[in-house]
Amino acid sequence: MESVFTSIFTKFEALLNQNYELGKLLTETTQLLKREVSHYDWVGFYLLDRDTMMLVLGPYTGSSTEHTHIPVGKGICGQVASSSQTMVVQDVSQQANYLSCSMDVQSEIVVPILKDGSFVAEIDIDSHAYSPFTKEDEEFLAAIAERLSVYF
């Protein structure tokens, strides 16, 4: 991780030490990420409802969205839920299976959260910038997802 992410990760670790319940921890995490990373314009979590196989919007920071329930397989978020693989879309206009949340969104990164190897949730980040996400973003968010997985 590059130094800016190292500093933010240290702040994230401090949140983990607060012993928050899951909802509060996820809320605090979205606020930290949006505040600290200039190209993170919307940060949220989608949690898997195994009974309906739908992603349910959890805590988020940013503009409201109509996408409160997403079927597994639909859109970027649904594809990540299906594959359990991080997906980076640097230009959402080029993605056929994209669910538009806002006209301002230019790019998106979605990182799965796996518990004991099974998909349980994901971190979804939208950016109003075109092609802002780097390998460092992926590594940073994967480290956060890994640390959060034990709370699910």
Residue 146 pLDDT more than 60? yes
pLDDT at 106: 84
Non-local (6+) Cβ contacts of 21 within 8 A are none
Residue 93 tokens, joined: 């206009």
Which tens digit of pLDDT belongs to each residue from 34-89?
999 999 999 999 999 999 999 999 999 999 988 999 999 999 999 999 999 999 99
Report pLDDT for 96: 62
CATH of domain 3-151: 3.30.450.40
Residue 100: per-residue pLDDT:
61
CA dihedral angle for residue 58, residue 126, residue 20, residue 151, rounded to 10 degrees: 70
- Structure confidence at residue 61 (pLDDT): 97
pLDDT for the residue numbered 98: 58
Long-range CB contacts (< 8 A, 24+ apart) of 105-108?
105/41, 105/42, 106/130, 106/131, 107/131, 107/132, 107/133, 108/76
Residue 126 dihedral angles phi and psi, to the nearest 5°: -105, 145
Residue 2 pLDDT level (bands cut at 50, 70, 90):
low
Question: Domain locations in the chain?
Answer: 3-151
Mean pLDDT for the stretch of residues 14-31: 97
**Predicted confidence (pLDDT) per residue in 83-113, tens digit:** 999 999 998 677 666 566 667 888 999 999 9
